[in-house]
């Protein structure tokens, strides 16, 4: 997937655990883990807003576009 999730990087920079962040923003640890590992297919803007507010960051600090699709990587 060309979108890279850098949530784990921002969490490490802010020294916050997955469980602590999930409690603060009201998301289950399981759903936050799915997002953190890049397995999520979508994210609500409200969820992204809560994460950014709690981690004091911008959406671009969490989401990154790779620019390569999986088809291009295979060629």
Q: Write out pLDDT tens, residues 33-75.
A: 999 999 999 999 999 999 999 999 999 999 999 887 655 555 5
Indicate if the pLDDT at residue 7 is higher than 80: yes
User: pTM (2 decimals)?
Assistant: 0.84
Contact call for residues 74 and 11 (beta carbons, < 8 A): no
Q: How much is the pLDDT for 67?
A: 84
H or E, element range at 58: none
Domain boundaries, the chain: 3-58
Q: Name the CATH superfamily, with its identifier, for domain 3-58.
A: lambda repressor-like DNA-binding domains (1.10.260.40)
- Tell me if 16 sits within 8 A of 75, measured CB to CB: no
């Amino acid at each position: 997937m060309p979108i890279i999730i850098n949530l784990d990087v921002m969490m490490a920079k802010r020294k916050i655990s997955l469980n602590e962040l999930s409690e603060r923003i009201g998301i289950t640890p399981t759903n936050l883990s799915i997002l953190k590992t890049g397995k999520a297919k979508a994210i609500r803007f409200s969820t992204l807003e809560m994460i950014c507010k709690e981690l004091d960051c911008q959406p671009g600090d969490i989401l990154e576009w790779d620019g390569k699709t999986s088809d291009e990587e295979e060629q």
